[in-house]
Amino acid sequence: MTLEELDKKYVLHTYARDYTNFTYGVGSTLYDESGKDYIDFASGIGVNSVGHGNEKLANAICEQAKKIIHISNLQVIEPQAKLAEKIALLYSDDVGVFFSNSGAEANEGAIKLARKYGEISFPKKRYKILTLENSFHGRTLATVKATGQDSFHPSCFAPYIDGFSYVKTLKDVENALDDETVAVMIELIKGEGGVAALPKDEVQHLVKVLKEKNVLLIVDEVQSGVFRSGEFLASQVYGIKPDIITLAKGLAGGVPIGAIVTPHKDVFVAGDHGSTFGGNYLSTAAGNTALEILNNIKESGQLSKTIAYFEDKLQTILKENSDKFEAVTGLGLMRGLKAKSSEIQVKTIKQSLKEGVIVLKSGNNTVRFLPSLTITKDEIDEGFARFEKALSNI
């Protein structure tokens, strides 16, 4: 039985899979079973923040696995405490951190935290959460309902959890607030919604409005966090201090992890929330090492150089292919090329894979780029040479 046959027979069909079988990777280059190499501009949808086969990360995972992989969260976990400290220091704020296994779980926990805040902080309970149209916050029943896209709300999964409503733009938030609204939940850069960055002035105005009305701001940084914007958090790029931030994806370089970060350290008490696997020895040991690697390239100036070089390449592509694309979107190394049609978008992604470069789909006909943050100049050059070749065949 071939791998494709095996997958189709035994794995639930929840993904429209490509059946390229990658067997190993080095940096931002993947190799399939035939030895063909691919430049990876996707990094597992923003997860492989330090690239493939990173020796320092692999050694940290291996050494931790030899000692303890997992114990219960009923005991203190040293690398978990140290990773929480690292996050707080990189954010430069007095925050507490809860660790989960994914971005959806982190967002689910953020919703619970907000709802408890709404219970204990007001004479009348507040529980409603506003999100933006074209947002994406996860696949659980709560986070999928928080997602502002009708396509994620099919009738087969109904009834959905009550308490979520959507606004078109940040300017619409103020008029949508009522005395049952406890929080507004946003992505500063919409990962699934066209890699669109929100206007900085509108975000800062929203922060002022919400503080005046004692409404929480939740910022979903599952994809934009962990240096992908050029700073540790996109919130720092925007100059804001949200009430709750969620992280995941690149935080442990590929090991599953999620995190809720909040200055509201006393809202949850023992028993309010939990996770069997969240923040275990393996994931947090990986997280400590990934953050060390990434902070080093940030402090050295290498990350800002990589971002600028990648941006220049995208702008060149846009200029030379104005018949196919109309804008470069996003921030840092969370980027998009907005195609002039869905047909161009789909053909670009498929042809790119044929030419040996991996890019992703996003909403609004956008081709998405999420390379590892450690990608080299040579890998960027080779990836865009292949991307240009793919475009010439469309």
pLDDT 10s per residue in the chain (394 long)?
Answer: 999 999 999 999 999 999 999 999 999 999 999 999 999 999 999 999 999 999 999 999 999 999 999 999 999 999 999 999 999 999 988 999 999 999 999 999 999 999 999 999 999 999 999 999 999 999 999 999 999 999 999 999 999 999 999 999 999 999 999 999 999 999 999 999 999 999 999 999 999 999 999 999 999 999 999 999 999 999 999 999 999 999 999 999 999 999 999 999 999 999 999 999 999 999 999 999 999 999 999 999 999 999 999 999 999 999 999 999 999 999 999 999 999 999 999 999 999 999 999 999 999 999 999 999 999 999 999 999 999 999 999 9
Strands, sheet with 37-40, edge to edge from the N-terminal-most edge strand: 22-26, 29-32, 37-40, 357-358
pLDDT for 288: 98
pLDDT for 21: 97
CA nearest neighbour of 242 among 294, 183, 168, 201: 183
pLDDT for 344: 98
pLDDT for 286: 98
This model's pTM is above 0.95: yes
pLDDT for 93: 86
Residues of the chain with CATH 3.90.1150.10: 3-53+300-375
| Residues 226 and 232 sit within 8 Å (Cβ to Cβ) | yes
Rounded distance, CA 357 to CA 360, Å?
Answer: 10
Measured CA distances, 217 to 185, 230, 246, 319 (Å): 6, 22, 11, 38
Residues of the chain with CATH 3.40.640.10: 57-297
Q: Which CATH architecture has domain 3-53+300-375?
A: Alpha-Beta Complex (3.90)
Pairing between β-strand 357-358 and β-strand 37-40 as defined by DSSP bridges: parallel
Share of the chain above pLDDT 70, in %: 100
Q: What residues are paired with 12 via a beta bridge?
A: none
Per CATH, is 57-297 categorized as 3.40.640.10?
Answer: yes
Q: What residues are paired with 216 via a beta bridge?
A: 183
